[in-house]
């Protein structure tokens, strides 16, 4: 890939949330995965739905992509980056998330 995808760690995401930063988190997991718990601030858009729901994703703000392990969110991140979005992938995904879930 010519444009490397930026990454962020789960701990860094948690710190931003604790500091009250207004950040956009997009969880691309399947419905049943999200039902088991997601980051409360995250918006759920399944990976397969992203191309059809681009209108829900702000072009002028940075988005943090999340999935179970970081693989699907990486794919989503590259796709969005190609569409001109500013994105970071949360490496390690929800497997590494120690923060709150709901």
Whole-number pLDDT of residue 3 = 80
| 51 annotated active-site | no
Please pick, among 26, 45, 67, 87, the residue that the annotation labels catalytic: 67
Show pLDDT as tens, one digit a residue, over the chain (102 residues).
458 999 999 999 999 999 999 999 999 999 999 999 999 999 999 999 999 999 999 999 999 999 999 999 999 999 999 999 999 999 999 999 999 999
User: Rounded to two decimals, what is the model's pTM?
Assistant: 0.96
Q: Calculate the CA dihedral of residues 96, 30, 75, 10 and round it to 10 degrees.
A: -20
């Amino acid at each position: 890939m010519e444009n490397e995808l930026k990454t962020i760690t789960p701990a860094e995401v948690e710190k931003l949330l604790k500091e009250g930063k207004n950040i956009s988190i997009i969880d691309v997991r399947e419905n049943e995965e999200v039902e088991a718990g997601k980051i409360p601030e995250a918006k759920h858009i399944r990976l397969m739905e992203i191309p059809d729901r681009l209108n829900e994703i702000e072009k002028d703000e940075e988005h943090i992509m999340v999935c179970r392990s970081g693989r699907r969110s990486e794919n989503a991140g590259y796709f969005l980056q190609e569409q001109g979005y500013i994105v970071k992938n949360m490496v390690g995904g929800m497997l590494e998330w120690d923060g709150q879930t709901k």
